[in-house]
Structure 1
Amino acid sequence: MRRFLILCLVLIAPLSAAQITSKEFYTKLERGIDQIISPVDKNVHIGIEILSLKSGLRLYEKNAHKLFVPASSVKLFTAGAALSLLGPDFTFETNLLTDGSIDGSTLKGNLYLQGSGDPSFSLKDLEQMVLELRLRQVEKIEGDLIVDNFAFDDVRWGPGWMWDDTQSSCYAPMNALTINENCLRIWIKPAEKVAQPPKVFAFPRTRFVRIENHALTDKKKSTLTLESNLKEGRNTVEIIGEIPQKSALQSHLIPLQGSHFYAVTLLQSILKKSGITWTGKIQVREVPDSATSLATNRSSSLAMLLHKAMEESSNLYTDLFFKKIGQVASSSQGTWKNGKEALHRHLEVDAGLDTSDMVILDGSGLTRYNLASPHQFVTYLRWIYEKFPYSAEYLSALPIGARTGTLKNRYSKDLPLLRAKTGRMTGITSLCGFIRTQDQEPLAFAILISGFTEKTSKYKTEVEDAICTFLGNLSRE
């Protein structure tokens, strides 16, 4: 950290003197970045492109046309495609409907819970919908509880996702009827005595999930393992290992399978708490055209949802956006395939990119099948900056260096504004976005790095952050 900061200051110092010529500026810029990346292991692949959005001139490039696995930087494409195809004011709707009618205090007919891919739909939203049903004086349902999650197909994981990562909340399986981001929050507190099982709390409490606590409290430093599996149609979370007796309260977010059943199980519980009884079964089928609406939950606008998607780098949000644009563009059930087609069409037709050698198969960047070049990222970012009608909404959703999201603890508040999207996987890191120099000259840049065995933090700090610090200190004066 100290080494690259000193290096950046040394490299910038000559630029702060009198006005320099364009040739000298380019020489200093090239030499500065080359000195940052020269210590990197030659087996590591680095691709960089930097473009001035003021002059339109390319300031620096290295392996700019070579293809890299971009990880979460793919979300830059997804966000633009979603804004373009859906519009910034678009909202997702989750509906309670019936194919029957209300007679006094009885709903005579089935109650349908229909999702449309809202990534933000929560238990609180569902409770509000049931309250609306209760305000209609409904106390009994003579019919079934039916889930309609057919807005999207039932392929929950994207092509090329790593099967051994599916225990992470980052890989929560997706569904058109998502609730609480398809995860369960579990808190674990050590017991008062050694060799006793720790105390476990879960939210929301639901019979859809069974918790098997095999862990013990121990005096020594130790670790817990939480594994979620589908057993006999129920999600089972096994807690294994030891928790130190002096450990603070631990919090874990566990991904759940079968999120549509998760939602309808929570609906059952809320109906019961609200004093509404029902006599039927739980089923899965589409809402008939003749059904009438009883309650509707609308999400925040897409422009607002993008803030969480980009600042927190939410995989669930961006993959749901991906299938949604596929659904809208094809007027059919959203799939990975038509999501890919809609995204590529946006890149080609709207942004004018040559996607002949580009591969984008999901919206989050979780798949290692994705391939894109630094030049393709910079070309797209230039289009966003210069021609995209929703550039303001797009730019405001990006993390800000030293201030928000995944860049909150990177860069410096004392330097000009950095807005960029991070990407990270084992052996892969990327940073693509916009930065201003000391002269407030706007730049678009893409840095993609792969093929290393050290910790990702090394390349984030010594390459990505070093280059951004160098650019933020840069001046033509």
Structure 2
Amino acid sequence: MNRKAFVSKLVVLAGLITIISGLLLFYPQLETKIDATNETDITQLEDASLEEKLAVILDNPNLEGGVTGISVLDAANGDQLFSRNGDIRLHPASNMKILTAASALETLGPDYRFTTEVLTEGKIRGKVLHGDVYVKGKGDPTLLLSDLEAFAKELKKQGIQKIKGDLVGDDTWYDDVRLSQDLNWSDEPFYTGAQVSALTMSPDDDYDAGTVIVEVSPSKKGKKAEVTVTPENNYITIENKTKMVANGEEKDISIERQHGNNTIVIEGEMPKDGSLSRSWASVWEPTNYVISVFRQTLEDEGITFIGKSKDRLEETPASAKVLVAKESMPLKELLVPFMKLSNNGHGETLVKEMGKMIGDEGSWDEGLAVMEDVLVELGLNMDTILLRDGSGMSHKNLIPAVELSELLYVIQDKDWFTSFQTALPVAGHPERMIGGTLRNRMTDSHATENAIAKTGSITGVSTLSGYVTTADGEEVIFSILINNFLGSSATIRSIEDSIVNTIAGHEF
């Protein structure tokens, strides 16, 4: 080695030592900030590379014992800017919804709509419909009580005041498997694990299909708290085991449906000056739930059933005629509550709908097979990816961060990309249907209303993947998958936020 080359290497080595020394001096302060806040100030490393800045954050002791996979790409050309365990397969949690949304947009299209129909083979004679009335669901998760009321009003406009026949629910658009294969039984009573049916309904415009809203409030006179259910129905049984206690005492209310039936048990103590408790509880067998509510809706509208009418389930005859129908909002609008609020039911419904439309089978097996085909066409390596559901609730889904970031890169050229982009939560934006699950994160940072990303969280897993613009105007894609952590989810999320804020504040 000549003298000039030797001196040059010494200079480089001295520079590296200086940087490492700075990192070591800075690290204790950085660790404190990560534990205490959602943002990390990297000003002391202003001239460091992005890799050096992120390395400091990733040395946080809260990540020890777990696995963190990160991939950061240049959004303009797909070049890799940073990777740490990027090729390790990890659980994506609700980042799985990125794959589901992209597959649905590519397969069904942004203007795709779900349909619900009311049909009959019967004849109207005078004011009486002689024949069974069928309610055929085709997967619409946005069906509301107001839609059933509109159906009832329309039937009355058609001159129907009495029905001599049964009320029949038809959910055969999908198979009869209600829960995805890896859903924990302990999740099943709650809205996050609601059953999937082709005929279902939601209690409000968050569109948590197959659920009811249970509210518990103080009673002015009674010994038990007041309980209301939305929508009001006779399908759910409330078992009120609450107790009213004095002003100022601690509120302790639990709301949980019993496994395998529709009894919702409410327990605990409610102070006289206590605040409202609200919970979304899933129903057991949502098809029967819709039929039960629709029968009551018809009767409330003055349409009565005569004879030995009963509720039952059966496929609609091909000869039946449509009396009234309702279309859902287009997929591009449905993606907003799906992605912003991380709606699990929408993810599973979209999987079955893709299976039905492409493979003529509304099942998880067929839908996931369709997704695999789409993802291969988009350039993903399915040899390193395992799909088990559409929501990310499964602890068996696997994908490396590099594949997830690559997907976010390639879909930028799709004509539906704007719809996808619009559906992502916006960091620090206070409006619920804009900020979504990121509305209370990165609220005062370089990433505020800059980063758009999908969150994800199941036990021991926290994820965040999306897009952000750097301080010098470069568009960057990131995927952060943190698995097998113990301790505070809030602390782990603060590390994710620090990573994104650091990227946002960086100048290349």
Tell me if both proteins adopt one fold, taking TM over 0.5 as the criterion. Answer: yes
What are the residue-to-residue correspondences of 1:401-416 with 2, within 5 Å? Answer: 401-403=427-429, 404-412=435-443, 415=446
Letter paired with 1:118: D
The answer on whether the counterparts of 1:73 and 1:430 sit within 8 Å (CA) in structure 2 is: yes
In structure 1, what is the equivalent of residue 170 of structure 2?
148
Q: Distance in 1 between matches of 2:45 and 2:163?
A: 72
The answer on whether the counterparts of 2:189 and 2:259 sit within 8 Å (CA) in structure 1 is: no
Matched residue SS, 2:486: coil
Q: Distance in 1 between matches of 2:326 and 2:475?
A: 40
In structure 2, what is the equivalent of residue 394 of structure 1?
420
Distance 1:189 1:97, change over 3 A: same
Confirm or deny that 1:37 pairs with 2:47: no
**Displacement after TM superposition at 1:251 (Å):** 1.7
Q: Distance in 2 between matches of 1:145 and 1:475?
A: 65
In structure 1, what is the equivalent of residue 485 of structure 2?
452
What are the residue-to-residue correspondences of 1:68-147 with 2, within 5 Å? Answer: 68-147=90-169
The answer on whether the counterparts of 2:384 and 2:400 sit within 8 Å (CA) in structure 1 is: no
In structure 2, what is the equivalent of residue 354 of structure 1?
381
What are the residue-to-residue correspondences of 1:235-314 with 2, within 5 Å? Answer: 235-279=262-306, 280-314=309-343
TM-score (norm 1): 0.92
Residue of 419, 426, 443 corresponding to 2:452 = 419
Letter paired with 1:468: V
RMSD: 1.7
In structure 2, what is the equivalent of residue 467 of structure 1?
499
**Displacement after TM superposition at 1:218 (Å):** 2.0
Matched residue SS, 1:352: coil
In structure 1, what is the equivalent of residue 400 of structure 2?
373
In structure 2, what is the equivalent of residue 60 of structure 1?
82
**Larger displacement relative to structure 2 (366-375 or 35-44):** 35-44
Letter paired with 1:396: T
Paired positions, count: 457
Letter paired with 1:303: K
Residue of 302, 318, 336 corresponding to 2:364 = 336
**Displacement after TM superposition at 1:412 (Å):** 3.9
Q: Distance in 2 between matches of 1:2 and 1:268?
A: 60
Percent of residue pairs identical: 29
The answer on whether the counterparts of 2:140 and 2:328 sit within 8 Å (CA) in structure 1 is: yes
Distance 1:390 1:409, change over 3 A: same
Q: Distance in 2 between matches of 1:291 and 1:398?
A: 41
Q: Distance in 1 between matches of 2:49 and 2:436?
A: 32
Letter paired with 1:469: N
Confirm or deny that 1:229 pairs with 2:258: yes
The answer on whether the counterparts of 2:241 and 2:268 sit within 8 Å (CA) in structure 1 is: yes
TM-score (norm 2): 0.87
Letter paired with 1:430: T
Q: Distance in 1 between matches of 2:331 and 2:254?
A: 36
**Displacement after TM superposition at 1:11 (Å):** 4.7
For 1:113-139, what per-residue CA distance to the aligned partner results, in whole angstroms no more than 9, with x for missing partners?
Answer: 010111111111111111111110111
Matched residue SS, 1:33: helix
**Displacement after TM superposition at 1:206 (Å):** 1.1
**Displacement after TM superposition at 1:56 (Å):** 2.8
**Displacement after TM superposition at 1:108 (Å):** 1.5
Q: Distance in 2 between matches of 1:358 and 1:409?
A: 31
Matched residue SS, 1:215: strand
In structure 2, what is the equivalent of residue 214 of structure 1?
241
The answer on whether the counterparts of 1:401 and 1:413 sit within 8 Å (CA) in structure 2 is: no
Residue of 476, 480, 497 corresponding to 1:443 = 476
The answer on whether the counterparts of 2:42 and 2:53 sit within 8 Å (CA) in structure 1 is: no
Confirm or deny that 1:319 pairs with 2:348: yes
- The runs of 5 or more residues in structure 2 that have no matched partner are 1-30, 203-208, 430-434
Q: Distance in 1 between matches of 2:44 and 2:196?
A: 47
Residue of 370, 373, 376 corresponding to 1:345 = 373
Distance 1:65 1:154, change over 3 A: same
**Displacement after TM superposition at 1:408 (Å):** 0.8
Q: Distance in 1 between matches of 2:258 and 2:132?
A: 31
Matched residue SS, 2:487: coil
Matched residue SS, 1:361: coil
Letter paired with 1:335: S
**Displacement after TM superposition at 1:2 (Å):** 7.2
Q: Distance in 2 between matches of 1:448 and 1:251?
A: 31
**Larger displacement relative to structure 2 (201-210 or 336-345):** 201-210
Residue of 201, 210, 217 corresponding to 1:182 = 210
The answer on whether the counterparts of 2:71 and 2:82 sit within 8 Å (CA) in structure 1 is: yes
In structure 2, what is the equivalent of residue 19 of structure 1?
none
Q: Distance in 1 between matches of 2:253 and 2:315?
A: 41
For 1:135-194, what per-residue CA distance to the aligned partner results, in whole angstroms no more than 9, with x for missing partners?
Answer: 10111111111100011112111111111122322111111111112111122122346x
**Displacement after TM superposition at 1:196 (Å):** 1.3
The answer on whether the counterparts of 1:12 and 1:473 sit within 8 Å (CA) in structure 2 is: no
The answer on whether the counterparts of 1:11 and 1:32 sit within 8 Å (CA) in structure 2 is: no
For 1:262-297, what per-residue CA distance to the aligned partner results, in whole angstroms no more than 9, with x for missing partners?
Answer: 100111111111111113221111111111000001
Q: Distance in 2 between matches of 1:83 and 1:340?
A: 15
Letter paired with 2:289: Y
**Larger displacement relative to structure 2 (156-165 or 2-11):** 2-11
Q: Distance in 2 between matches of 1:227 and 1:473?
A: 44
Q: Distance in 2 between matches of 1:104 and 1:89?
A: 40
The answer on whether the counterparts of 2:386 and 2:399 sit within 8 Å (CA) in structure 1 is: yes
For 1:361-413, what per-residue CA distance to the aligned partner results, in whole angstroms no more than 9, with x for missing partners?
Answer: 1110001110111011011111111x322111111111111111011111246
Q: Distance in 1 between matches of 2:498 and 2:364?
A: 37
What are the residue-to-residue correspondences of 1:3-14 with 2, within 5 Å? Answer: 3-4=33-34, 7-11=40-44, 13-14=46-47
Which is greater in Rg? 2
The answer on whether the counterparts of 1:130 and 1:271 sit within 8 Å (CA) in structure 2 is: yes
For 1:318-373, what per-residue CA distance to the aligned partner results, in whole angstroms no more than 9, with x for missing partners?
Answer: 111111111111012x1111111011111012x01110121111110001110111
